[in-house]
Amino acid sequence: MSKLNYLKPSILFVLLSFFSISLAAQTKDNDGKVILAYVTSWSSVMPNPQMVTHINYAFGHVDSTFQGVKVDNPQRLRQIARLKKKNPHLKVMLSVGGWGSGRFSEMAADQAKREKFAKDCRRVVRKFNLDGIDIDWEYPTVSAAGISSSPDDTENFSLLMQDLRKSVGKKKLLTLATVCNARYIDFPAIMPYVDFVNIMAYDMTMGIAKHHSPLYKSENTTDLTAASSVEAHLAAGVPAHKLVLGVPFYGRGNNEFKASASYSRMPADLGPFTEQWDETAQASYLANAEGKFVFGYETPRSLAVKCRYAVEKGLRGIMFWEYAGDTPSNILCRTIQENLK
């Protein structure tokens, strides 16, 4: 007979409660896997705080003095930060940057401005009750988005991350978003300072009828894939446990169907287009009446495959752009939750 049978009911209740709480905590932590949503300043959709572990609020910017932070729609950031009351495990960060957001190069090149910027990031974290800072500088040494750049940007980026870590402290998160091919950043130099790296493994083709976020290469892709993005970052010196794979909650194609559309806005009636599955790329797409590829997009099926890939590779988790692209029933978020375990 088990010794538990001899315990008083009150003691047995305490023990069972303890084990139940421990199991719940392990389930809640999900082995430390990250499910990170970008939430934009221009959207009115409020995220379900039970669906994600982290939120990156888009965006903050380097201000016109080159030594401070400007936050888009501060009131919405306050609303997002208050979601932590509903889920104490939720982490909310300010993402500074984004496509076309400049002044990074000038700020990072000047030690005094760089240090003042880092201190202002600390101020913003405290003011809005945030859990850290995400840097989305697209991209050091590149002026493609109409921003300034310098050949010294890569080295100065490393100094910036060092100053940010010193400023926000060890208890706050410091992360970054990176281009799919892992260029422009000296990863070994910044690894001691960052918690994890978010790979923007989407928009890998623009304006052409190819998958823009396939897992693997096929006749419907370019050489850029989610898998090649992960391998590029591993080769560049980022350990797997610090990599978060980015996925899109939207699709891209040519104008025959739509140039772009979020998953939540995909029409119920596809008209002459049919949903197809690219077995080689492990990705969904729409084909026209002639069977030609016209639009590639993330679906629950393709997203589940990517989540299982992330688990198999030992990655930290999944990041997505952006929360408002999901359906009201959170079909994509739920797919991530169910397949990232």
Instruction: Give the residue numbers marked as catalytic.
Output: 138
Determine how β-strand 250-253 pairs with β-strand 260-262.
antiparallel
| Bridge partners, residue 177, by sequence | 198
d(CA 32, CA 287): 39
Please report how many Cα atoms fall inside a 13 Å half-sphere around the Cα of residue 307, on the Cβ side: 23
* Torsion sign across C-alpha atoms 152, 246, 87, 325: positive
Residue 158's closest CA among 182, 126, 190? 190
**130 near 90, Cβ under 8 Å?**
no
Q: In 10 A of CB 84, how many CB atoms?
A: 17
d(CA 161, CA 103): 16
In the numeric block, which tokens belong to residue 328?
């009201």
Q: In 10 A of CB 96, how many CB atoms?
A: 27
d(CA 266, CA 253): 13
**Three-state secondary structure call for residue 3:** helix
SS (H, E, C) 144-210: CCCCCCCCCHHHHHHHHHHHHHHHHCCCCEEEEEEECCCCCCCHHHHCCCCCEEEEECCCCCCCCCC
For the CA atoms of the chain, what is the radius of gyration? 22
**Three-state secondary structure call for residue 13:** helix
